[in-house]
Structure 1
Amino acid sequence: LAAYVDRVGSALAAKNGDALAQLLGLTAGCATVELRSMSVEQVGHVCQSKLSRFDADHEASEKAGDEVHDSLRSAEQHLKKGFAMAANGRVPAEHNKQMGTLFIVNQLFKIYFKLNMIHLCRNLIRAVEGPAFPPFERFNKSDKVTYQYYVGRISMFEDQYQKAETCLDYAWKHCHRGKLRNKRMILQFLVPVKLLLGVMPSPKLVADYALEEYTGLTDAIRDGNLRLFTEYLSKYQDKFIQQGVYLLIEKLRLLVLRNLFKKVYLIQQSHQLHLEDFQVALRFATGGDMDMDEIECILTNLIFKGYIKGYMSHTKKILVVSKAQPFPLIVDVSS
């Protein structure tokens, strides 16, 4: 029974609903005999002792988490004092520590990301970009790469994708070629940002850095394959969430829809497209029906973002697209 309760605890910790349902339903056949051979008092005693241990483990985990949080906040305060002292350029040259300020900024970035207090990074960025800060090119290359990596991630969270691409691209190009792990970490954010801006990664890049999760996504975007996109998003959902790019990947769905609707335009060869044609295309792509209001909402978003040039007639259920490049290149729209 103790082993059985352990398995229940493991399933709870892993949030494995299927395994937990099977265990609690006693369908696994692992606890039936043991339960029958024990009295109610014995079962209650064993369960109580095991659950008490789980409670103790949970409390210890929470305590350890609080200690880590306190340690990080303490480190933050010391680093901020160090930054203020190092940034003070009104000292003799032999005591000037300004060239260490970017390293301190990067350490503070790491702490704020761990504490989920990314908004505090903006104050540091303003200081680095301010006129009193030493010229960026004078700093150590590794510090510059780390700084651009974090600023790129921050810009990505703030939906500043052009700046995110610039910063992450800098980090990627200047990262030491032997630091494969670091280069892959940069690509985990650079690739989805570039996808959103209409730039597809090469198959060689995907293969060299084991980015297999993007193989199907790039194919789905290029072909307007909504079903393949949904499958890959579901398959690698946990990985994308862990990396912190899931919401960014979800935004790529609009590009898939844009390319799907472009196929409808190419088939019809008309500048007046009936919304029913888009409904048929979506039914074929997803295997389910989408109501007209939702289709109109999608088209409105595509027009608003500039992915489609045209206007929509709600009463006639018609999309009228421009005769001159009705579906602009995604790269041109993003720029």
Structure 2
Amino acid sequence: MAQQLLASLATLTNDEGIDLAEQSEQLAELFTPLLINPTTAAVRASTQNWTDDQISKTVEQAQLFDGGWAGFEQFVSSYIRLVRDFDPFSDSSSFDLVVSTFNDLQVAFSSARGGCLIHTVALWARKVVSGAFQYDREHNLPQRATIEYPTSEYIATPLLRLFNTTRTERSDLEFNRKNIILHLACLLCRVYFHIRQPTLCANVFSNMSTAGISLHGYPKSQQVEYRFYLGKFYWLKSQLKNAYIHLDWSWRNCYTDSRNKRLILKHLVAVSLLLGIIPTRELLEQFSLDGVYGEMVKALKNGNHTRFYAALEQARDWFIDRDLYVLIKSRAFTLLNRGVLKTIYEWSVDQRNPAIPYATVAAGLDFATQHGGYAQQVMAPQMMEGKANLTPTQVEAILVALIDQGFIKGKLQATSQRLIHARTDVFPPISAVLGSRQSSLELKDDEKWMTRIG
């Protein structure tokens, strides 16, 4: 069967009239990852007694591409050795052989003739990434304090080289290596996030913006995945509006029945809350996220610090696992303060009070935190200097911050320690203050290529 494989390869590689895309598809069928290709068992049986030298000499004698492509011969030899030594009962035990073959594939793909391996690279890259994740999971011991990803980190190198080969493609043919650049970009980002090094994605995004491609020419699923990672990347950089733009696009363009719809929403809701875009309870219930976000949404609306942070802490591990915890905890307090002040303002209007004393603000903030007061739950201990209650100066600082950021319209009377609020539109919509209304959101200049057609 090994000889039959080589004969098929010789016929396919020496056919000068074959279309490049067709040749690429047929080669991929011959090199389909193990356990998917039914012919591999027969090839394994026929090569059990072959030495490495015999494999290399037999491949050389097959005269693939008329014997003029040493890199391809090396990949074929590596593939046959992989099939010979592969353990069909355990993918992970043979994964080092898979990675070795993948490295040889990367070298062959980078040559001038590498376009015929486009489909093979796409298949193998996906196989190797998922295999590396599985291998690291199986070899991470429960007693370890930290999780390690040595195999996933290692395969990032050949994967990056493949990506660089596609981005530097200069062919004018319709079928060329850039056909899989988005696929490889998504896999690279998947690896970088998996190994907890998402900042490395910056290089991917930068190179994609100068690759001279149109995103519309690629499968919608790849577009969704790419912009999902871009949204997560901006979230970690605290660029909330940019994060929202990409996560919202991914959410709206993800296939309705895809399980990724919920995955995207987990992150989109977090961004939305901090931008004052409140999801409906029906939406949260539809995607089984009401248990995580439901209480936080209610608390954010009325500025209940205790309720909000209790809900956040209850699902602490869930938020930490998704890199959502820190930013939510650090950014939400300003919006919660606004909610408290709005409640106080509405009460003040009912009482026909033209201004709000600092003491009333302090009492409202303490009430919003219920257990121990605002000073103990929100203010850093070093800021309180051992005091149990907010001082007028600290209340004034909170109000100044809200006014300066545009969350409240009004002015302060320091001598009488009062907030004099505006007569109308005292609390502009959060989305208006933060510029997160749909009409004001747009892609950065270096990302507008994503909407270019043709």
TM bucket normalised to smaller = 0.7 to 0.9
Partner of 2:427: 327
Q: Secondary structure at the match of 2:419?
A: strand
- The structure that has the greater radius of gyration is 2
User: Is the Cα contact below 8 Å between 1:271 and 1:323 reproduced in 2?
Assistant: no
Cα shift at 1:87 = 1.7
Structure 2 match to 1:201: 279
Determine the C-alpha separation between the residues in 1 that align with 2:250 and 2:144: 36
Secondary structure, aligned partner of 2:266: helix
| Change in 2 beyond 3 A, CA 1:271/1:158 | farther
Q: Does 1:192 align with 2:270?
A: yes
Match of 1:155 among 230, 234, 237: 234
Query: 1 or 2 for the larger relative contact order (CA 8 Å, sep ≥6)?
Result: 2
Look up the match of 2:359. Answer: 276
Q: Where does residue 112 of structure 1 map in the other structure? A: 192
Alpha-carbon displacement from aligned partner over 1:88-140 (angstroms, at most 9, x marks no partner)? 2323527611020111111111121123222221121122222x331111111
How has the CA–CA distance of structure 1 residues 58 and 74 changed in structure 2, closer, same or farther, with 3 Å as cutoff?
A: closer
- Gaps of at least 5 residues in structure 2 are 1-138, 374-388, 436-454
Q: Secondary structure at the match of 2:366?
A: helix
Report the Cα distance in structure 1 between the residues aligned to 2:241 and 2:337, rounded to whole angstroms. Answer: 22
Asked if 2 retains the 8 angstrom alpha-carbon contact of 1:192 and 1:248, the reply is no
Pairs within 5 Å for 1:63-102: 68-69=149-150, 71-91=151-171, 93=173, 96-102=176-182
1:296 aligned onto 2:296: no
1:95-244 alignment to 2 at 5 Å? 96-130=176-210, 132-180=211-259, 182-211=260-289, 212-244=291-323
**CA deviation profile, 1:195-234 (whole Å, cap 9, x unmatched):** 1111111121111111111111111111222232132122
Summarize the Cα distance change of 1:91–1:225 in structure 2 as closer, same or farther, 3 Å threshold.
same
Q: Is the 8 A contact 2:140 2:147 kept in 1?
A: no
Aligned-residue offset at 1:249: 2.3
Task: Pick closer, same or farther for the CA change 1:271–1:104 going to 2, 3 Å.
Answer: farther
Partner Cα separation in structure 1 for residue 360 and residue 246 of structure 2: 41
Q: Is the 8 A contact 1:262 1:327 kept in 2?
A: yes
Alpha-carbon separation, structure 2, partners of 1:237 and 1:60: 21
> Which whole-Å CA distance do the structure 1 matches of 2:280 and 2:145 have between them?
46
1:60 deviates by 9.6
TM-score normalised by the chain length of structure 1: 0.75
1:82 aligned counterpart, secondary structure: helix
Does residue 1:259 correspond to 2:339, yes or no? yes
State the Cα distance separating 1:59 from its structure 2 match.
Answer: 8.7
- Match of 1:199, SS state, is coil
TM-score, L = length of structure 2: 0.56
- 1:98, 1:227 → 2: CA distance? 52
Distance 1:318 1:208, change over 3 A: same
Say whether the 8 Å CA contact 2:356–2:418 is kept in structure 1.
yes
What amino acid is the match of 1:317? Q
Unaligned stretches of 5+ in structure 1? Answer: 1-56
Higher helix share: 1
Q: CA deviation at 1:153?
A: 0.6
Please say if residues 348 and 356 of structure 2, whose CA atoms lie closer than 8 Å, have aligned partners that are also in contact. yes
Change (3 A) 1:60 1:253: closer
Once the two structures are superposed, residues 254-291 of structure 1 have per-residue CA deviations (whole angstroms, 9 ceiling, x without a partner) of 21221111111122224532110011112322233441
Q: Secondary structure at the match of 1:300?
A: helix
Percent identity between the aligned chains?
A: 28
How many residue pairs match? The answer is 275
Q: Tell me the distance in 2 between the aligned counterparts of 1:291 and 1:65.
A: 42
The offset of 1:186, in angstroms, is 0.5
Q: Are the structure 2 counterparts of residues 59 and 88 from structure 1 closer, same or farther at C-alpha, using a change threshold of 3 Å? A: closer
Q: Distance in 1 between matches of 2:399 and 2:410?
A: 10
Instruction: Output the CA distance in 2 between the equivalents of 1:60 and 1:164.
Output: 34
How big is the shift at 1:314? Answer: 4.0
Partner Cα distance (1:65, 1:223) in 2: 40
Distance 1:237 1:296, change over 3 A: farther
Three-state SS of the structure 1 residue aligned to 2:406 is coil
Q: Is the 8 A contact 2:167 2:207 kept in 1?
A: no
Q: Distance in 1 between matches of 2:327 and 2:426?
A: 25
The answer to which of 322-331 and 306-315 deviates more is 306-315
Matches of 1:129 and 1:219, distance apart in 2: 40
